[in-house]
Amino acid sequence: MSDVRSGDGRVLLSPGQESFLAASDGLDTPFLVLDLDVVAERYAALRAALPDVAIYYAMKANPAPEVVTLLDRLGCRFDVASPGEIARCLELGIAPERLSYGNTIKKERDVAAAARDGVRVFAVDCDAELDKVARQAPGATVYVRLATDGAGADWPLSRKFGCGPGEAAKLALHACHLGLRVGASFHVGSQQRDPAAWERPLADVADLFDGLVAAGGVPAGVNLGGGLPSTYVPTTPGVAAYGATITELVARHLGRFAPIPVLIEPGRYLVGDAGVIESEVVLISDRDVDPGRRWVYLDVGLFNGLTETLGEAIRYRLRTPGDTGRCGPAVLAGPSCDSADVLYEQAPRHLPVDLRIGDRIQVLATGAYTTAYASVWFNGFEPMPTYVIGSPEAPAG
Amino acid sequence: MSDVRSGDGRVLLSPGQESFLAASDGLDTPFLVLDLDVVAERYAALRAALPDVAIYYAMKANPAPEVVTLLDRLGCRFDVASPGEIARCLELGIAPERLSYGNTIKKERDVAAAARDGVRVFAVDCDAELDKVARQAPGATVYVRLATDGAGADWPLSRKFGCGPGEAAKLALHACHLGLRVGASFHVGSQQRDPAAWERPLADVADLFDGLVAAGGVPAGVNLGGGLPSTYVPTTPGVAAYGATITELVARHLGRFAPIPVLIEPGRYLVGDAGVIESEVVLISDRDVDPGRRWVYLDVGLFNGLTETLGEAIRYRLRTPGDTGRCGPAVLAGPSCDSADVLYEQAPRHLPVDLRIGDRIQVLATGAYTTAYASVWFNGFEPMPTYVIGSPEAPAG
């Protein structure tokens, strides 16, 4: 049981994270503590919130083998982005039919290799990609990705992925003619704060499916993408609220196609809160080039774990010593010689006024999109280690 | 001999890069080809342009052991950012007195370890950092870092480093009282297009030294930082122009302190043009969500080598098949599932209209700040390999 809570603004860790950190004085920072019990708890909560939806873990969020193995035991499936992720899943004994190759940007030889391995589900958003799948994986299922505007998401969405309803309809028909099974997918943007963000794309999917059915096709399924949140600043509704809203929206828009497979691809939601990065304050300064502003430099930064502070997009909760005392604003920066390695400056953080060099600061909910995105040897800093804690046994299959 | 040229806008590779790539069809992309002959040539050119200046290679730009060893043989010294970089230099047989610990953000125990290893030069920009050096490396030399505004540089400078003239003067005197030797340093911003950018900080250094001398101190040296350019778009003056301007400015502003040691810390300049990344076009699409715009997706992106396209700051030259043919605009993006992994969108690139999926594109002048900044396993993509070519023997010591 974990007591990482959402919505109350309090800074809390899981019991496992707490006890690991309490005994971690001898460990060099930075490091990530990843609690499998929290992953299992999140999976169970999502399972309960969306009982009829097939969960595909977006393993790019954290591909640690312990996480993948635990989720496999829990019955989870996997959204994979590359040949490397497919290989890892297969090595861990996961059946290829439990994988969805969700990247819309694939080399044709990688599509071929995935098909040879037994992968049968692919995402596409344009004709060229559809043709690759048709050539290399005949009879497979393609999910045509619809674009969304990403409104309400903390990690910005670009026009890199997806197509509009008109192009999607053409793609779907073309896929049918190529002998492929056709579903629809979309992504409402990562760390999506508004459960209602699923409404508009679900309406688009319904239109797409109407056209498909009218042409004699059978929709293969809908993939609701990712977007479920971790516990950052600001707070978000709990997963039950997302589940209720999404269930209602799916019923309203896609009820006429029932029964239809519904998939979801959480990454951040399942592993974000399971992680905490322990870091050390390397330097505190108040220089005349930025008068009256305190700069706090940590040993973790943009290039060795906190990539998602880019543009100050993800606002991690912090736990500091003396959190009960008086606080004041501070710019937070990483340890490297790179000027871009500044974490929070436009919106400074509030840190204890008596914070000192050598103090340890915990960066909470850092289980997702941290260690896998860290640099190989940026400025001569080794990638931080991950200490995996909690039970690797699934409480229920 | 390399014929990578600056200033003429032409896309050219070194003979070594050309012949390696001509025989590279069997190699999986992406990969980096790094030509030691270009590094040696750049070192010689800089040596000639600034004959009286001690060159410290900012090894964060590319810490490949072959590069470090070659530059050591050529007589170069090294700017290091971390214990990891110090360890690599020492392992490669470089004497510790040839290192400058140029990061202003250092753990006190790392300062202590560096001092035990024999490192005697440290950068500081505030009292707390100065105190660490005074405690752990008594009698060492500190370079007080002055802030600059970074105008004219392509990679943005923040207020993360440096202090103003007033605070620097106090720091310098404080350092004297603590028994340290005192120099001054600054950084005009990476990929600095204007040689005159060195003027204002050199004037500040002169003022600082005047104060130091008046208080009975002796300036230990001036560190001109980095900023010398690689050959990107847009073009920059040649290194001889930088050398002439900087030599004149140093004489004008610091002549009255002569003889004084002058250091420079090129990273990008020495290795940037030595590298070329070979990549493959994974997908080309023209979707209705961005009507009329061609999106070209490469197998190298923001997270596996082209970090410096962040904010479209560094504009790499590209070489494509059919460069003699008709070109049109294209948004360039990386291969990952991450929406942020878009390389050039605000200012699209001009690429051949007949560019096709599977074509190879060379990203030029990618020897600096690429492989060392790449992610460990982003989206399941392995870090790209580096193929080192050229002579490891220094033509002259």
Which residue from B60, B283, B307 is facing A379, i.e. has the nearest CB? B60
Window A:151-180, CB contacts with B under 8 Å: 155-164, 166-167
Report CB contact under 8 Å: A380, B310: no
Report CB contact under 8 Å: A81, B337: yes
- Top-confidence residue, A268 or B158: A268
Q: Which amino acid is at A182?
A: V
Q: Band of the pLDDT at B317, cuts 50, 70, 90? A: very high
What was the pLDDT predicted at B395? 63
- Identify each DSSP E strand in A90-230 by its residue range: 99-101, 121-124, 141-146, 153-155, 181-186, 190-192, 219-223
Q: Which residue of B has its CA nearest to A89?
A: B380
What was the pLDDT predicted at B3? 36
What was the pLDDT predicted at A157? 78
What was the pLDDT predicted at A190? 92
> What's the pLDDT tens digit per position in A54-65?
999 999 999 999
What was the pLDDT predicted at B156? 74
Dihedral angle sign, alpha carbons of residues A191, A195, A197, A203: positive
CB pairs under 8 A between A and B: 227
What was the pLDDT predicted at B11? 47
Which residue from A81, A284, A337 is facing B128, i.e. has the nearest CB? A284
Report CB contact under 8 Å: B379, A103: yes
> What's the pLDDT tens digit per position in B52-110?
999 999 999 999 999 999 999 999 999 999 999 999 999 999 999 999 999 999 999 99
> What's the pLDDT tens digit per position in B345-362?
999 999 999 999 999 999
Which residues on adjacent β-strands are paired with residue B319?
Answer: B362
What was the pLDDT predicted at A394? 64
- The answer to whether residue B9 scores a pLDDT higher than 50 is no
Which chain B residues are within 8 Å of A284, Cβ to Cβ? Answer: 128
Which chain B residues are within 8 Å of A295, Cβ to Cβ? Answer: 159-160
ipTM: 0.95
3-state secondary structure chain B: CCCCCCCCCCCCCCHHHHHHHHCCCCCCCCEEEEEHHHHHHHHHHHHHHCCCCEEEEEHHHCCCHHHHHHHHHCCCEEEECCHHHHHHHHHCCCCHHHEEECCCCCCHHHHHHHHHHCCCEEEECCHHHHHHHHHHCCCCEEEEEECCCCCCEEECCCCCCCECHHHHHHHHHHHHHCCCEEEEEECCCEEECCHHHHHHHHHHHHHHHHHHHHCCCCEEEEECCCCCCCCCECCCCCHHHHHHHHHHHHHHHHHHHCCCCEEECCCHHHHHHHEEEEEEEEEEECCCCCCCCEEEEECCCCCCCCHHHHHHCCECCEECCCCCCCEEEEEEECCCCCCCCEEEEEEEEEEECCCCCCCEEEEECCCCCCHHHCECCHHHCCCCCEEEECCCCCCCC
Q: Which residue of B has its CA nearest to A126?
A: B285
Residue with tokens 């300062």: B111
Reported pTM? 0.96
> What's the pLDDT tens digit per position in B18-65?
999 999 999 999 999 999 999 999 999 999 999 999 999 999 999 999
> What's the pLDDT tens digit per position in B104-145?
999 999 999 999 999 999 999 999 999 999 999 999 999 999
Q: What Cα–Cα distance (Å) separates residue A345 from each residue in A65, A85, A144, A197, B322?
A: 35, 35, 39, 29, 45
> What's the pLDDT tens digit per position in B372-383?
999 999 999 999
Report CB contact under 8 Å: A375, B372: yes
Q: What Cα–Cα distance (Å) separates residue A197 from each residue in A249, B266, B313?
A: 10, 49, 33
Which chain B residues are within 8 Å of A336, Cβ to Cβ? Answer: 60, 81, 103, 105
Which chain A residues are within 8 Å of B288, Cβ to Cβ? Answer: 163-164, 166-167
What was the pLDDT predicted at B323? 61
**Mean pLDDT per 10-residue section of chain A, whose length is 397 residues:** 40 90 96 98 98 98 98 98 98 98 98 98 98 98 95 85 97 97 96 95 98 97 97 93 98 96 98 98 96 96 96 95 84 96 96 96 97 95 97 69
What's the gap in Å between the CA of A173 and the closest CA on chain B? Answer: 16
What was the pLDDT predicted at B397? 43
Average pLDDT over residues B293-308: 97
What was the pLDDT predicted at A395? 63
> What's the pLDDT tens digit per position in A243-264?
999 999 999 999 999 999 999 9
Report CB contact under 8 Å: A337, B106: no
The per-residue pLDDT of chain B, averaged, comes to: 94
Q: Helix %, strand %, coil % for chain A, to 5?
A: 35, 25, 40
A340 reaches B (C-beta below 8 A): yes
Q: What Cα–Cα distance (Å) separates residue B230 from each residue in B104, B174, B313?
A: 25, 38, 13
What's the gap in Å between the CA of A374 and the closest CA on chain B? Answer: 5
Which residue from A160, A307, A342 is facing B333, i.e. has the nearest CB? A160
> What's the pLDDT tens digit per position in B176-205?
999 999 999 999 999 999 999 999 999 999
Token representation of residue B388: 């080192």
What was the pLDDT predicted at B325? 79
Domains of chain B, with CATH numbers?
Answer: 37-271 (3.20.20.10), 273-389 (2.40.37.10)
- The answer to whether residue B5 scores a pLDDT higher than 70 is no
List, by residue number, the catalytic residues of A.
337
Report CB contact under 8 Å: A289, B150: no
| Percent of chain A predicted with pLDDT > 90 | 91
Which chain B residues are within 8 Å of A162, Cβ to Cβ? Answer: 287, 289
